[in-house]
Structure 1
């Protein structure tokens, strides 16, 4: 049984259905609705770089026909009894459980964030509705103080707030109001990003684009009347348009089941994604607490490793594969260019080429048109290859051939 039919959950059921005999294994996926969003596309909606219809589709066509789909909300998991309880009273037994319920923004966790101006002067692009509402706000924006703010890490796609300010710089130039706008990037980190090499490169880009950076900012509250955000050390950042990334948390049922940490993420072995509490429970994608980016690439690579280990586990063999935390992230930098990061648990982002040594065609830690086109093309790859579980030809482990330290 798989809880969640997002990126990780959809890949899991499609890959396992091809490998587990239908005479021996039934596969059930549970999700609360039939809406599947291509979440990297949220970023582009406020800048009219794609349409809502390119982002949102029905889940069912992307799930193998031989997978049972249950549309319901999960209330809790009774792990000792290997049973899932659904809202409404229905219970479902399982032999093996995969939690792939993702993470969601929780603006209710920051005082003052949810108020009359939510999705107006206080916007966000980490939900479909938020991205569409922010598009209208940016359409009407004629200058002032545009503040991009991150509440706390971890968050989905940690480079997306940086991409937002880079694209905003480009977009406002096109509108002719960039000189009338101050863009401020507010982060709880001590630099632009978590990885030092990437942080240095991205920090230079922020400086070059005249984007102010406010570091080590731990938000205490949003004051919508005064139009400021306040930190615990009593700093204030005023705004005319605030774009915030609220606290991200895992699913409430994870907490109700006693399976989560303080943010409702499932503690797992970071190399196998197997629960540290129960051998027949696994957590994949954004639902786990593995110490790397909550990104689609991590879901992709970790699912590839999981499938091999799952077959070992159900056959009674030791788990033979190890996930190294591999992640790669495109970073839109404006002007039709993007950077690309490739890293894992132990290795900092490096320079060089990707995916082929010396050939590329994409460049690492450098802006290029090819990187931008690669990000745009990935939407087609996502819907037509990644979700159906087709091989993409990329190894799950990070490769260092053709890469150089920077």
Structure 2
């Protein structure tokens, strides 16, 4: 019997498990999925926990809830991949042989990579919201905070969900306004980027939105270290930003297992053909989601669109055919902006976020790069779609390839 092994049971790995279980002949193929954790997190929901919109129970479910019957499930840390021998070595000595391998091990936060970040103020006045523990700790700190300087810092690229820091400061501004203490809080958005976002048109629109909310954007700030004693961020060119509460995106890196396997770049992401999603090192290894080094957002929508491409290419590879499908880097992100409104961006490798309507030209119902209530409803509805449709590998009425229909070139 032939063997397909999937490493990682997060968003991307679970989607591929369900898709390949549906496609493959059960008498010909055995599918195994490996992950060291039994809990699945709805990571976009972490953003809402600091403001009491969601609680921890709203973002966690058992991974078993999303596995189809008849697949092998192994909960174990992974030692390394031995690509030359088509083997995966697990902690404890178990060896998994494979004919084809999908790497979906994601990305991890590494706060220790930033000097001073995990010093005495960590989870006291310095927080992340990219882990459930950080989001809950930040909620507990904010709920009785009396005001001061709140700083959101982005020290390194790439990181999961690039719009989340913008959403955080927008939700924070609304949160403090609703508590009647808006004039007691100064919010700063500190980033190494030249503006609010990586793409020029979106950066202008989102930067204007932050300006309207009186949120100070500190750009081109390359963080050197966090000064816990004086509660300051210090850049490599010795600029300083003071804080009372600091929220930060910790450095993101791929799994250490990728480094041990000799499959990663300097950030432990797997060099991957950005169109076919095939490993650049081994023809029978494919990569999906945040584990890949492809030049698009590390976001659930990217994994969803890429899963359709990978399914087609993996089936072709299994049959010895040329890989027919090309991933265009399609990403689609709702941006929560506070007060029951949100924005939406839709882009790919070649086309930056543009204004217009989505998914239908002239009709929408969602407006691209506009702050509307309908976009907020799309963001809220996505949690149900995630649990009930995306993870189970079901199709949505949105094509994997980005469409220019409804978009207006600037």
CA deviations on 1:145-187 (whole Å, 9 max, x unpaired) are 0000011010000100000000000001111111011101000
**1:206 partner SS:** helix
Of 17, 21, 26, 1:22 maps to 26
Of 357, 370, 383, 2:374 maps to 370
**1:204 partner SS:** helix
CA deviations on 1:313-357 (whole Å, 9 max, x unpaired) are 111111111000000111111110000000000011111111122
**1:346 partner SS:** coil
- Unpaired runs of 5+ residues, structure 2, are none
Residue matched to 2:73: 69
Of 113, 124, 128, 1:124 maps to 128
| Residues 124-143 of structure 1: pairs in structure 2 closer than 5 A | 124-143=128-147
Separation in 1 of the partners of 2:227 and 2:103?
A: 37
Residue matched to 1:251: 255
Residue matched to 2:35: 31
Q: Does 1:304 align with 2:308?
A: yes
Residue matched to 2:188: 184
Shift of 1:116: 2.2
Residue matched to 1:352: 356
Q: Does 1:161 align with 2:165?
A: yes
Residue matched to 2:112: 108
Shift of 1:142: 1.2
**1:403 partner SS:** coil
CA deviations on 1:80-118 (whole Å, 9 max, x unpaired) are 011111112111111111110110110010111012221
**1:270 partner SS:** coil
Shift of 1:54: 1.2
Of 195, 198, 201, 1:197 maps to 201
Separation in 1 of the partners of 2:359 and 2:76?
A: 40
**2:268 partner SS:** coil
Structure 1 ranges of 4+ moved more than 3 A: none
| Residues 137-286 of structure 1: pairs in structure 2 closer than 5 A | 137-286=141-290
Of 30, 52, 69, 1:48 maps to 52
Separation in 2 of the partners of 1:181 and 1:244?
A: 17
**1:43 partner SS:** helix
Deviates more, 1:301-310 or 1:109-118: 109-118
**1:27 partner SS:** strand
Q: Does 1:389 align with 2:393?
A: yes
Residue matched to 1:330: 334
Shift of 1:366: 0.2
Task: Please report the RMSD computed on the Cα atoms of aligned residues, expressed in angstroms.
Answer: 0.8
- Unpaired runs of 5+ residues, structure 1, are none
Shift of 1:236: 1.1
**2:183 partner SS:** coil
Separation in 2 of the partners of 1:15 and 1:241?
A: 43
Separation in 2 of the partners of 1:304 and 1:388?
A: 13
Separation in 1 of the partners of 2:123 and 2:72?
A: 36
Residue matched to 2:344: 340
**1:291 partner SS:** coil
